[in-house]
Amino acid sequence: MRVTESMNSLFLQNANPMHFTFHTQTISPKPKPIQQRYYPRLRCCIEIDMVKNNQGIYAPKNDKVVVLWDLDNKPPRGPPYDAAVSLKTLAQSFGHLVDFSAYANRHAFVHLPQWVLNQRRERRNLDIFERKGIVTPSESYTCGVCGRKCKTHLDLKKHFKQLHQRERQKKLNRLKSLKGKKRHRFKERFLRGNHKYDEAARTLIVPKVGYGLAAELRRAGVFVKTVQDKPQAADWALKRQMVHSMSRGIDWLFLVSDDSDFSEMLRRARENNLGTVVVGDWDRALGRHADLWVPWIEVENGEISGGDLVLKKREEKRRMDELEQDGLVFYEDEDLDQEFLLVYSEDDEDYEEEEEEEKFYIY
């Protein structure tokens, strides 16, 4: 094979003449390799399941979410309707809410919390001051049903009971005497959908028992279940519902409780690759077994955004996946490398020796 001058200049440009040697050898010409283009590999970090909707179009699959509320352990500290709506909004940010249930025994619906007692006491004292003329309201009270204006709150309550509540009771008595299709038509026409009366009655009529906890939760779309008056009855009902939810193939489970008896159920849920979110006051018993822990007081006040929690969960999952790929994640049942322990033990001994040299001893 002949080496041309251009090739000599190419090879001898940056070479050292003292250590450079040419070896001439006859080599059969090789075929010119085919040029190939190498494209960068695209790695998908999120798997998206596509399902067909009612219109026949494939769309991303929504995660199924279930909310279970232990009312015996975690009752609302304020208006039940607002707390239920805030919890429902948080759960819906994780996916499609398929079930929202609350369990408690009879005492949870009969008991009057302190905030209800204080509210009723303030309203009673204000009514007395308005009747005696000590306090004058800035605006007259307006009836939410007919729009009549009253000077005091007691006058408005008296008007509502004598007119609207009495008419309501007549319709209910009439409904009891009807049967079949007539009963259904009468109920649809005169009783169902009367939102004005329901709103006014909620603020003017005091319930005979409790403070309307079950009614307010049902108004927010919560299925309320009253269990038997036995120890741990609500816990057993919640555990059965958790097992039923896991068999339905849900993706996220919200548990509103601080009861440590649910720790085993949360561990079983995580073994089944089920995302768990605990809403409570203490991040100790149940928070360490769940994927996310959320303070109950912030959820009840609507101070937490569900989108932030989802992004936080995805970021933590991505970080854990990277650590697992690098081999830097050690589990409880995994044995650490002996060399890893020796290296760190030697550093600790050196650090202890340095500390001993800096100490002053007095004899």
Per-residue exposure over 243-262, b if at least 16 CB sit within 10 Å of its own CB, e if not: eebbeeebbbbbbbbbbebb
| Amino acid at residue number 355 | E
Average pLDDT over residues 1-9: 44
- Going by pLDDT thresholds of 50, 70 and 90, the confidence category of residue 320 is low
pLDDT at 39 over 70: no
Query: Cβ-count burial of 231 within 10 angstroms (0-12 exposed, 13-18 middle, 19+ buried)?
Result: exposed
- Going by pLDDT thresholds of 50, 70 and 90, the confidence category of residue 208 is confident
Tell me the C-alpha distance between 145 and 137, whole Å: 21
- Going by pLDDT thresholds of 50, 70 and 90, the confidence category of residue 317 is low
Mean pLDDT of the chain: 77
Query: What integer pLDDT is reported at residue 351 of this predicted model?
Result: 44
The pTM score is 0.68
Query: What integer pLDDT is reported at residue 318 of this predicted model?
Result: 54
Tell me the C-alpha distance between 197 and 166, whole Å: 12
- Going by pLDDT thresholds of 50, 70 and 90, the confidence category of residue 229 is confident
Tell me the C-alpha distance between 86 and 90, whole Å: 6
How many distinct helices (H) and strands (E) make up the chain?
Answer: 14, 10
Per-residue model confidence as pLDDT tens digits over 259-293 = 888 999 998 888 888 889 999 988 777 888 888 88
